[in-house]
Structure 1
Amino acid sequence: MKAKQLRKEIDTFGDKIEAILTQPTTMEQSIKNLEDSINQFTDTKLTQVLIGISQLKNSSRLLKEIAAHSYQHGNGFFKLVILDKNGYKLRLHIWSNGNVGKETIHNHRWWFASRVVAGHIESEMWELGGVNDVKLQSLLYFSGEKYGQKPIALGTAQLYKKHIIKHTSGDSYFLPPDKLHAIVGTSKGVTATLMVTTHPCRTFNEMYTNQNIDVTKQKSTPEEVKKAILSLLAVIK
């Protein structure tokens, strides 16, 4: 797939995402529609798009754009941003060798819908307070350079684990911004999820941990993007 055609495929799906998110309906219904759309894209287009990206020249404008928005995340996955447009993002999270890093209990600034593309993930679902609670440091993180890069410490909070959910390849799901969760397990080989994050609903997200948090973002290179994609293609082609 040539670069021009590849960009058209990505932009076409981006237009579909935007159309869904601007429909006059509830956010929950929009995110369910988005989940259906992600499933359709994964089943019909994703492999072709990934092959196309992996075959781009390192000097390609599209590949450079993807690399500029992608990086190795502190929670253990390679965050590959395929599209970043008008507040929403289409992104792949790729874990290698079962590495989940130092995943914090956290929520988000936005809704998201996700499809497990390869492997499986295990997620703990948490709530504040309750019986058999755990005491952790409460942190508030305002994303964006204008807010600074360090989370704000709010003191100690008590949390309890409600349950663990396992999603395997082919499963899809969605979460609202306020749901606290942490991915605690992935497959031993390559695990990947394709997700769309909506326009932010607020300027911050919450994190709970007793570990030191590094939220600095080191932009990836075209070579790193290709390496991550090829590791995924090896298990889904």
Structure 2
Amino acid sequence: MVENKVDEFSGFKTDFYEIKRFLEGYDSYLKNYLSSLLRDTAKLALVAKQSYLHSNYFDKIVLYKSPINNFSLRLHIWDDFNYPEFKSDIHNHRWDFCSVVLKGVIEETVYSKILDEGDLIEMDFSTSKNSTRKYKRKNNATLIPRYKTRLEQGMCYTKFSDELHDVVSLSSYSATLMLRMDDEKDYSSIFLKSNQNLANREGPKSFFNVEELRLKIIKLLKNI
């Protein structure tokens, strides 16, 4: 049912209202879907091969990717027990997405760029199919925060590809379910401090193995 729904969304003009309804209704399908995934070792292995610790220190778990285009259903998990040094860079995306908070509290700050000079370095980056990242420096930049939003369990939000934001978890354990849509452009942007090193943004150092993924899903099921 879940895979069919993602394929249905990917095959037509994006309907944000229907996507939001699907995500907000996660109580009706997510626990059963994750429980069935735990019983299917082969399927769990496929998910593990495309899931890893993101450079912004959350676990990115790709539950399903449509064969039609780049639509995919993901879990994002912030777990202070494993990653106490969590820090998010200001960035946008190549694609729009909708997300619902499954557990905990996250805070999103949305920014505007006001100058092509300043203390931040603006870089374009793209990602290849094997998750190799390419960076291109553009300008220095100055950003100002426009607003903050506190997002609690059950709340759903939409982000468009050109919006600059960062996200932090305000809880010791937070999780979201996200539907990533098709690419709107070939690259996205990140804004780094001049002394930041790109080493931790070179893509996943390694993907989760099956047992690691199994334990992460079991922990999530205990928390939602």
TM-score bracket for the superposition, by shorter chain length: 0.7 to 0.9
What is the CA-CA distance between 1:33 and the residue it aligns to?
1.6
TM-score (norm 2): 0.88
RMSD in angstroms over aligned alpha carbons?
2.1
One-letter amino acid matched to 1:23: F
Structure 2 counterpart of 1:111, one-letter code: D
Distance in 1, matches of 2:130 and 2:217, equals 32
Q: Alignment partner for residue 43 of structure 2, among 58, 62, 72? A: 62
**Cα-to-partner distance string for 1:118-152 (whole Å, 9 max, x where unaligned):** 0110111111117xx96311010111158952321
Which residue number in structure 1 is paired with residue 6 of structure 2? Answer: 17
Of Structure 1 and Structure 2, the greater helix share is in 1
1:229 CA drift (Å): 0.9
Distance 1:66 1:146, change over 3 A: closer
Could you tell me how far apart the structure 1 residues matched to 2:87 and 2:210 are?
A: 25
The aligned residue for residue 139 of structure 1 is 123
Shift of 1:233: 1.5
- Displacement of 1:97 in angstroms is 2.1
Q: How far apart are the structure 2 equivalents of 1:100 and 1:46?
A: 29
Q: Which amino acid aligns with 2:160?
A: P
- The question of whether the paired residues in 2 share the 8 Å contact of 1:32 and 1:174 is answered with no
Q: Work out whether 1:173 is the aligned partner of 2:163.
A: no
Q: 1:70 to 1:146 in 2, by over 3 A?
A: closer
Percent of residue pairs bearing the same amino acid type: 26
Asked if 1:162 is matched to 2:146, the reply is: yes
Counterpart of 1:110?
95
The question of 1:45 aligning with 2:29 is answered: yes
Q: Paired residue for 1:194?
A: 177
Separation in structure 1 between the aligned mates of residue 33 and residue 2 of structure 2, nearest angstrom = 11
Match in the other structure for 1:129: 114
1:95 to 59, 78, 82: 78
Q: Aligned equivalents of 2:162 and 2:85: distance in 1?
A: 22
| Count of residue correspondences | 214
* C-alpha distance after superposition, 1:41-95 (max 9, x if no partner): x110101122222344xxx221111000100111111111100123111000011
Change (3 A) 1:104 1:116: same
Following superposition, the deviation at residue 100 of structure 1 comes to: 6.8
Question: Structure 1 regions of 5+ residues with no counterpart?
Answer: 1-11
